[in-house]
Amino acid sequence: MLKFKINKDETAYEVAKCDKKASGLVTIPDTYLGKDVVSIGKDAFCGCKNMTDVVIPDSIEKIGNCAFILCAGLTNVVIPDSVKKAGYAIFQGCTSLKSAVLSKNMKTGGGAAFSGCTSLVSVTIPDGVKGIGGNCFVDCTGLASVTIPKSLTEYRYAFYKCTGLTSVTFQKGVKVIDEHAFEKCTGLTSITIPEGVEAIHGEAFRGCTGLTSVTIPEGVKEIEFQAFAGCTGLASVTIPKTVVGMKHMVFEDCDKQLTINVLGLCEKPEAWHDNWRGNSKCKVIWDFGGKNIVEEAGA
């Protein structure tokens, strides 16, 4: 059922291929012919549509590009902590996949790892993971909730168009909300950004039309280009005076009923882009020592 290939120095094996007729549970052995099995090769399980479960042993350190792509019958996967590197699109298009647990030692994750896994409802990203690769969970429309660990700093486009996502929990210690991370997550109605976050990167929540309110905590220093653009349901945003960098068009195309409360400031700081609101005709309340200065919508 499984074919193996020995590495160049003949000290360990890689899973090179699986018979496409494989069905049910497939167990990858930790040794073969007396040597450790340390990797899963590129396309090794590609199109094994009748495989429902796979056991990946603790000996595996690397998973190659597209290793399990289009395994349409696969339902659950646990990537052991021994895995330090995973390639591109490793589980892309596994449309029956319901749960996934990532390795906490996976310092770099390949892009599009779980893209198009439309049945995915449970994802565990352990603390320790620094990057999950761009587009990791794109179009995982069944995913309803996710927790971002404090170690995670690289997750651009990670949850793009996860339209079923209704809850995002950020662990204490998260420093950045990465660019495009939650773009077009139309099911999100509110976001609690924890203290400790320093930057909201470009287009992080762009097109989240279900968002109605956002409170940005003290400590956030940068809000980048179009971070909340197209959030047409947004009615209220609170911004602290710690935001010293506000890029252009942060609130582009937001509803004209939007009210932005800026705490501790009486006017736009010099470092903020002149077009920080974009084309949104929103009301801004500059709350300076309790003496509100109201800039009416359309001004």
Residue ranges with strand state E in 1-43: 2-6, 12-18, 24-27, 31-32, 35-40
Q: Which homologous superfamily is 1-174 in?
A: Ribonuclease Inhibitor (3.80.10.10)
- Where do the structural domains in the chain lie, given as residue ranges? 1-174, 189-299
Closest CA to 96 of 136, 63, 68, 124: 68
Instruction: Say yes or no to pLDDT of 3 above 70.
Output: yes
pLDDT tens digits for range 229-255: 999 999 999 999 999 999 999 999 997
Largest Cα–Cα separation, the chain: 78
Q: 289 or 245: which carries more pLDDT confidence?
A: 245
Q: What predicted TM-score, i.e. pTM, was given to this entire model?
A: 0.93
**Cα torsion through 239, 155, 127, 222, rounded to 10:** -20
With 0-12 / 13-18 / 19 or more C-beta atoms within 10 angstroms meaning exposed / middle / buried, residue 9 is exposed
* pLDDT band at residue 142 under the 50/70/90 scheme: very high
Residue 200 bridge partners (DSSP): 177, 223
CA distances from 74 to 93, 137, 159, 247 (A): 10, 16, 21, 43
Q: What pLDDT was estimated at residue 299?
A: 55
